[in-house]
Amino acid sequence: MTDLTIINAEIYTPIHRIDNGYVVIENGVIKKIGSGRPSRIVGELLDAENNIVAPGFIDTHTHGYNGVDASYSDKNDLFKWTREVVRHGVTAIIPSTVTLPHKDTIRACKNIRDAMREWSPRKGARILGVHLEGPYISKEKRGAQNPEYIREFSIEEMREYIAVSSNNIRQITVAPEVRGVIENIPFLVQNNIIVSLGHSNADYATAERAILMGATKATHLYNAMSSIHHRKPGIVIALLRNRNVNLELIADLIHVAPEMIMFTFEYAGPYRVVLVTDSISATMLPDGEYELGGLKIEVRDGIARIAGTNTLAGSTLTMDRAVKNLVKIGLPLQDALIASTYTPAMSVHALHREHIGLIAPGYRGDIVILSRKNLDVKYTIIEGIPVYSSEG
């Protein structure tokens, strides 16, 4: 870990904004922030040149990047991912699997566990755990999930996933109408697993019951869910109305219309919205044919779909582009930064477990510096170590 002092910064903590600010990092931890010049320079000096300094982006729902797939990659490939994704300002990820055969999910959990054990800041973005997107989801709202492996909830399977991951299942996406799900939500919560509702055809009452049992998140809100109807409000309205539920949004302007994105922020606010990429292994690769959970995927003009259909299959979005998209459609920059840093951390309890998602004394020195002009990533810093610079 490195001591680092950042000066001449427009700081978004992101809750507060500090003009002409500074950040002092010692032994990888933020020790002091303020306005003006610090009383002493600690370690290396980095002049932010009046650019934007914010917590590093946290992507809690991402399946892959640049040829690496969370469902099938070993620790070395996972480290390729973590080293490269920092160019997009990302300092933490939760690799997300898709619906798979049991043995493949076991292998994915072990691979991610092994990478977590060997992680260090110089290996890039920190890995917060495993996100199981399935297999306990709705076949009717499966989206780009392989229907062959969708199944009823199994507590025996879940115990095995928890064990082989060394208690590192961080989040699970489930459909509350699937047999065995609702009654076992307390078991998941007791094992420190964030329960996210998604890929679901549930009605309002069923979704409400799942929330009362402990579900606290929505997986890519609006997508792969029963539609809103004024006489049948369904799962979307249940998720929106419950203020303790965090709401994932894929802000590629394809999965969700700009007007719906703005509505969600206006209704729920940035402290509930979690910006995610839902990126697949084709991200940063040319258009062509790829695979996701045993399904053939076509990427055309950067849009991923199940081959031969119009069904979206994840995205090729990156977090820096997502933030730019939000600002482009009229969201204040501070709200976009809250939704890409603080709220993702809060939604998976990383504010207090890993001490990330906030620029404040006692938190990790995980920081992104963005160009004030165009929001391009200039530096990515993890525990005080500059792991990416746009200047090489």
Residues paired with 379 in a beta bridge: 369, 389
Asked if the structure places residue 231 within a domain, the reply is: yes
pLDDT digits (tens, 9 = 90+) for 133-179: 999 999 999 999 999 999 999 999 999 999 999 999 999 999 999 99
Residues 165 and 270 in one domain: yes
Residues 369 and 231 in one domain: no
Q: What is the CATH number of the domain that holds 35?
A: 2.30.40.10
Encoding tokens for residue 103? 């043995």
Asked if the structure places residue 354 within a domain, the reply is: no
Residues 274 and 338 in one domain: yes
Nearest-angstrom CA–CA distance, 288 and 145: 19
Mean pLDDT score, 11-26: 98
Supply the pTM of this predicted model.
Answer: 0.98
Residues 44 and 87 in one domain: no
Residues carrying an active site annotation: 278
pLDDT digits (tens, 9 = 90+) for 223-265: 999 999 999 999 999 999 999 999 999 999 999 999 999 999 9
Q: What is the CATH number of the domain that holds 173?
A: 3.20.20.140
pLDDT at 2 exceeding the cut of 90:
no
Residues 35 and 74 in one domain: no
Is the bond preceding 258 in cis, omega lying within 30 degrees of 0? no
Asked if the structure places residue 356 within a domain, the reply is: no
Asked if the structure places residue 186 within a domain, the reply is: yes
Length of the chain in terms of residues written: 392
**Structural domain boundaries enclosing 152:** 57-349
The helix/strand count (H/E) of the chain reads as: 11, 22
Residues 107 and 161 in one domain: yes
pLDDT digits (tens, 9 = 90+) for 294-325: 899 999 999 999 999 999 999 999 999 999 99
Q: How many domains does the chain have?
A: 2
Best CA proximity match to 199, nearest among 104, 265, 132, 280: 132
290 with 299: CB under 8 angstroms? yes
Residues 79 and 23 in one domain: no
Residues 316 and 177 in one domain: yes
pLDDT at 392 exceeding the cut of 80:
no
pLDDT digits (tens, 9 = 90+) for 106-141: 999 999 999 999 999 999 999 999 999 999 999 999
**Residue that is written with structure tokens 């409000």 in the block:** 233
Residues 159 and 112 in one domain: yes
Q: What is the pLDDT of residue 291?
A: 93
pLDDT digits (tens, 9 = 90+) for 319-356: 999 999 999 999 999 999 999 999 999 999 999 999 99
Asked if the structure places residue 105 within a domain, the reply is: yes
pLDDT at 28 exceeding the cut of 80:
yes
pLDDT band at 1 (very low <50, low <70, confident <90, very high): low
